[in-house]
Amino acid sequence: MLEKKLSPLLTLCLIVLSCLITYGFDAFFSQQISKKTKKSISLIESTSNHYKSGRLEGYRLIKPLIYTQKMEESILYSDIKNELNTYIEKLKGAQKLISASVYLRDFEQGDWMSINDAETYYPGSLIKVPGMITYLKMAEKNPSLLNKKLTFNPTQENIPNQTFNSNRIKQGQSYSIKELLK
């Protein structure tokens, strides 16, 4: 039996070369496929058996499921919905509240309920929440982070008015992250 042995250096070079060729073909063809499918991908919604679902269309062999949700509010939340409605009406009667919107969803089971779901709101009021969550998650690993001081020096001259104008921060003053989160 005649056996030829390749040197380790030559073997390594062949492996690297074959990887580069494979990567090149993969990059080229995936780019070509994405160019063709980007234009034709669309979200198709369907409703059946008390569920609403959305799938992506435009692929040749698959229709990826993007979401599924129950069509009707869960009766599990009817008590809390009634309590919230009563509380909202009480605050409106005391002129402490003009309007409110509530959405509650159990992401594990898909049960949900809403109050005034068509109510409009200012997204700036909610955009602060992900920032707060990020700082609190970072503080789990590094609790001293909340004591770090930041100085308020706005770069924008026209800072929009907030709908809740209490305890405003002052330009040039330093605040701990903990104070800012409160």
> Is residue 74's pLDDT more than 50?
yes
Q: What is the dihedral of CA 42, 47, 48, 49, to 10 degrees?
A: 130
Mean pLDDT of 92-114: 90
Q: What's the full length of the chain, in residues?
A: 182
Beta strands in 73-141 (DSSP E): 102-105, 112-115
The predicted pLDDT at position 3 comes to 53
Q: From CA 143, how far away is CA 140, in angstroms rounded? A: 6
> Are 174 and 151 within 8 A, CB to CB?
yes
pLDDT tier at 162, thresholds 50, 70, 90 = low
Neighbours of 133 (CB within 10 A): 10
H or E element in which residue 89 lies: helix 78-93
Average pLDDT over all residues of the chain: 80
